[in-house]
Chains A and B, each alone.
Chain A
Amino acid sequence: MTTTNLETKNPTSGVSFLKNNLREYGLLISLVAIMVFFQMMTDGTLFQPLNLTNLILQNSYIIVMALGMLLVIVAGHIDLSVGSVCGFIGAVAAVLMVEYEMHFVPATLICLILGGAIGAAQGYWVAFYKIPSFIVTLAGMLVFKGLALAVLGGSSVGPFPADFQLLSTGFIPDPFSGENLRVLSLVVGILIALGLLISKVRDRADRIKHGMDNEPTAFFVLKNLVFVAMIAAFSYLLSSYKGLPNVLIVMLLLMFAYDFVTSKTTVGRRIYALGGNEKAARLSGIKTERLTFYTFINMGVLAALAGLIFAARLNTATPKAGLGFELDVIAACFIGGASASGGVGKVLGAVIGAFIMGVMNNGMSIMGIGIDWQQVIKGLVLLGAVCIDVYNKNKTN
């Protein structure tokens, strides 16, 4: 019975295309809707340049970890230890830089390598011994929480060298020394928007050349104009304060890199195959165990990077750093459309998911909603987002 309606080839009209792809854009639309909602509820505070900058700084480490977590979830696993690893790496960084007065470059490298080693140590059991990742990383969560305490000796260590703090608190330089507008930041923002636009147009030309189905031209133009306008407006707002934060640049680079890897490369393709059907992947010549192992190493490195960003932002390493981060990171991935059973999920989805959480945190704090009700609302949003996703999926099948 399914074959009969598959036979008919329906031309992609604007409306039907929008209907079919609503799920893809639905997330972005929800983010915009939530931002507009809080913009009104906070009397315009949300979009103030200072607040936007804060929003990025506050969520950078969650987004960095969400990139790695998405791969882990797509591969069919979970990592509960990222919060603890984050805190532990922050503690190690503090000890190296503050107590041993090491220069921040080697210290950062050591921390990233240590993060990779932690990921490897956990991934080893998951990949080669088939121990459920939930259990391995739950153990890791306890171990690294404890180790962070041990390294810090139970007290906070800081402050960090000024150079290192710039990772989180610095902004890209402003050679034109504009008084009210950081020109370079604005230029960089617009260049990014144009770069994206060019790559989209080339992608589309390539698809047309091969006779692949495409979205309607009008829709394509409209979508990308809105997109470019949004990025330009966003960078203008940021430029009118202190410019683009360093950490935003780091984040964007990682985001583009991971989006590219997951959607365009063989490694990315294989991770989706691994999560979608491990047996089929293995019988297609994919080294499933090694791939799982690598996704955990990757997660460890990103958790370490997030730990460094967080430590630099607080300017101290505290034993409580990283507490509960794993929940925000995992929630971001699931809000972003990842499937708990693996094989499904997109990098940009996870990033948007993280921003949805971040905007809600920020907006509700400005509105003066207590931390108690914030948690309740965030929990309900997570459940609601996943319910809508499952409902849509059932409908299309």
Chain B
Amino acid sequence: MADPILEMRDITKAFHSVKALNNVNLTVQAGQIHAIVGENGAGKSTLMKVLSGVYPAGDYEGEIKFLGEPCRFRGIADSEHKGIIIIHQELALVPLLSITENIFLGNEQAKYGVIDWNTSFLKTQVLLKKVGLKESPNTLITNLGVGKQQLIEIAKALSKEVKLLILDEPTASLNETDSDALLDLLLELKRQGIACILISHKLNEISKVADAITVLRDGTTVASLDCAQESISEDKVIKHMVGREMADRYPKRTPNIGDTVFEVKNWQVHHDVHADRKVIKGVDLHVKRGEIVGIAGLMGAGRTELAMSVFGRTYGQGISGEVLLHGKVIDTSTVQKAINHGIAYVTEDRKGYGLVLDETIAWNTTLANLEAVSSHMVIDEGAEFKVAEDYRQKLNIRSPNVFARTINLSGGNQQKVVLSKWLFSNPEVLILDEPTRGIDVGAKYEIYTIIAQLANEGKCVIMISSEMPELLGMCDRICVLNEGAFVAEFAAADATQEKIMRSIVTSGVN
């Protein structure tokens, strides 16, 4: 075997007295795709920040060897110069600049400070071809979907003669088609000799592309697996990640389904900005007491748009159709009215739409139902504390107390706070939009347990998700949304990933 392209040895990095990394070792072979997995907070991002020079040499202990030479990076510019390029989960593109401008941002094709647009344009065309993107180099980033933006980031990396590409959760916000395209591109880059470190929560993707897997837990390396020598099952990786055997990824539940409670009839929604575009084209949906209904579909199918338009018309215009609760038409035209009718919507993006991050757990918990902890508009802080503490214990939110600011919580715990907020509004119908996105395996299981318990209590749950296994594992019924209309519906027992995918793919043909 050739020399490894990257060796990180005994890396230790402490914040104050807390060791985020403790003697971590990572060896990446040339021309391989190396996956790093671990629960949130296991130290993956910190390790990558050490590697890319965000934490400069001297800030950590240990040794980094790249291409056989010891390296001491003082900043990102240093590591990029060597050919180590990191693509963060939150993309670093400027929305109102074109593809060309973004790709050469900070690396402009210029002479004496005057940009040579022709060269830039031609080079961009070549790069776009490499990543398989058919867009004009003059297209603005804001007009591209997330999947394409991800490809632009890779094209940008390629423009800098990348030798080691690091991708942090690249497919977290991509649908399956885009994810597959991205993974294929990584395999193509591998053939061209570019090594790659892939951080991901999605084990099916990892087993598809990775040549080696390093598992981190609590800041230490717990396993280095070579996929060529041993066959690696997902269960084995999960076991390493959580440090325990996960018998079931989903909690057991005996559905106890009652009468129809919540109905949406002939729901039609037009696009927020382009009034002539119909986003939801006459959707009918019903949910029974104690039932979990899944909504599957690709990114852009209109799932979030459907949920938000029903929930206080927070998306779209020219909305028509009826929402019924217990057979009676209800008015959900404002969020307040929707909440009063017992509808709750747990948003997809918890940081952007779910939490006031600067504020405490208690503060966020009561936000949607302040009246319940106040009289004559005066908030009873004692009552608020009790409510929040109650939910903190019920949902197992890990923090010293309810006065911890939500910005300091991990993703899973933040999501639990958002759930607390909506549970406290005492809903009958819960719409959960991607409830486990970006959450580690252990916390996912906890969220699933909460969802199952809610259904058992007789609540109606609508679960929107891009992860099909999750829908299959949790739902009693799965509706497939494509281009703003339901194209198929499966009972849990009949549904498979293939069937769902086929219903999406074949519906486009007609």
Chain A residues within 8 Å of B, Cβ to Cβ = 1-10, 206-207, 209-213, 264-267, 269-270, 272-273, 276-277, 279-287, 343-344, 397
Contact (Cβ within 8 A) B355 A206: no
Residues of A within 8 A of B16 (CB): 5
Contact (Cβ within 8 A) B382 A209: yes
Other 13 A-B pairs with CB < 8 A, given A210-B381, A265-B374: A2-B409, A3-B41, A3-B409, A207-B382, A210-B386, A264-B379, A265-B378, A266-B377, A269-B370, A280-B356, A282-B335, A283-B354, A284-B368
Option from A265, A280, A286 in Cβ contact (under 8 Å) with B379:
A265
Contact (Cβ within 8 A) A285 B356: no
A1 to B39, CA, bound (A): 11
Option from B17, B367, B379, B408 in Cβ contact (under 8 Å) with A284:
B367
Residues of B within 8 A of A211 (CB): 385
Contact (Cβ within 8 A) A397 B314: no
Instruction: Looking at the assembled complex, report how far the CB atom of A314 sits from the nearest CB atom of chain B, in whole angstroms.
Output: 38
Of B205-213, B255-263, B398-406, B454-462, which stretch is located at the interface?
B398-406
A277 to B367, CA, bound (A): 12
Residues of A within 8 A of B378 (CB): 264-266
Contact flag A1-B379 (CB < 8 Å), given A277-B355, A283-B345: no
A212 to B43, CA, bound (A): 33
Residues of A within 8 A of B46 (CB): 1
A280 to B374, CA, bound (A): 21
Contact (Cβ within 8 A) B339 A285: yes
Contact residues of A: prevailing secondary structure: helix
Contact (Cβ within 8 A) A270 B401: no
Option from A6, A276, A283 in Cβ contact (under 8 Å) with B357:
A276
The A/B interface has a contact count, at CB < 8 Å, of 125
Contact (Cβ within 8 A) B410 A283: no
CB of B359 closer than 8 Å to a CB of A: yes
Residues of B within 8 A of A284 (CB): 335, 367-368, 421
Option from A2, A264, A272, A276 in Cβ contact (under 8 Å) with B408:
A2
Contact flag A9-B401 (CB < 8 Å), given A1-B43, A270-B370: yes
Residues of B within 8 A of A285 (CB): 312, 334-336, 338-339, 368
Residues of B within 8 A of A281 (CB): 356, 367
How many chain B residues have a CB neighbour from A under 8 Å? 53
Contact (Cβ within 8 A) A1 B400: no
Chain B residues within 8 Å of A, Cβ to Cβ = 15-18, 20, 41, 43, 46, 218-219, 311-312, 314, 334-336, 338-339, 345, 347, 352-359, 363, 367-368, 370-371, 374, 377-379, 381-382, 385-386, 398-401, 403-404, 407-410, 413, 421
A281 to B398, CA, bound (A): 24
A10 to B403, CA, bound (A): 13
Contact (Cβ within 8 A) B404 A279: no
Residues of A within 8 A of B353 (CB): 277, 279-280, 283
Residues of A within 8 A of B334 (CB): 285, 287
Contact flag A276-B400 (CB < 8 Å), given A269-B370, A283-B335: no
Instruction: Looking at the assembled complex, report how far the CB atom of A77 sits from the nearest CB atom of chain B, in whole angstroms.
Output: 17
Residues of A within 8 A of B410 (CB): 2-3
Contact flag A3-B370 (CB < 8 Å), given A272-B359, A280-B355, A343-B356: no
Instruction: Looking at the assembled complex, report how far the CB atom of A396 sits from the nearest CB atom of chain B, in whole angstroms.
Output: 9
Smallest CB-CB separation from B45: which chain A residue? Answer: A1
Q: Which 3 pairs show the lowest CB-CB distances between chains A and B?
A: A276-B356, A210-B382, A1-B20
A1 to B18, CA, bound (A): 8
Residues of B within 8 A of A213 (CB): 401, 403
* 15 contacting pairs across A/B (C-beta < 8 A): A6-B399, A6-B400, A6-B409, A207-B382, A265-B374, A269-B363, A273-B356, A277-B353, A277-B357, A283-B312, A283-B314, A284-B367, A286-B335, A286-B367, A343-B359
Contact (Cβ within 8 A) A210 B377: no
Contact (Cβ within 8 A) A277 B377: no
Smallest CB-CB separation from A287: which chain B residue? Answer: B336
Residues of A within 8 A of B400 (CB): 6-10
Contact (Cβ within 8 A) A206 B398: no
Residues of A within 8 A of B377 (CB): 265-267
A64 to B17, CA, bound (A): 46
